[in-house]
Structure 1
């Protein structure tokens, strides 16, 4: 939930500052980095290379819904901003 709220705030602020090239890919990367940091700081459930890779795959799969929700939020905010921009242009030209 925090990733979605952060993504929405970032999209609103980034769209108003014309920094969309940075905003769009960031939510998924931030959620993935935070999930990896939490996983590495809490330690893998068992030792060994094979189980470590299995644990990394598990946290990546578990973090995917949060990454997808954050990206969808960014796209929704950008769509709303784009529609607002189009409607204001139409009013200005009418």
Structure 2
């Protein structure tokens, strides 16, 4: 049986500048409203990465949008649900 290994590393490197620019544009909108905001673009489990970045930068609040599928996850999103369970920093969930 033949097996195919898909390695997304090249794709990630190709997309990183575009993703970084899009995130920075959104952060600019927040900054224009007078809110201090920073950006980070990395890979890994989204909830774990957000918690690590929040800790690394000394964040006092994490704000995320709600999306997802599944029972409770349908209301807040599975990543958001994990973030709410694991984070020691307050998390605000914004309904999109």
- Quickly name the TM-score band, shorter chain normalised: under 0.3
Give the number of the structure whose residues are more often strand, by fraction. Answer: 2
TM-score normalised according to structure 1 size: 0.26
Give the number of the structure whose residues are more often helix, by fraction. Answer: 1
Q: Highest Rg: 1 or 2? A: 1
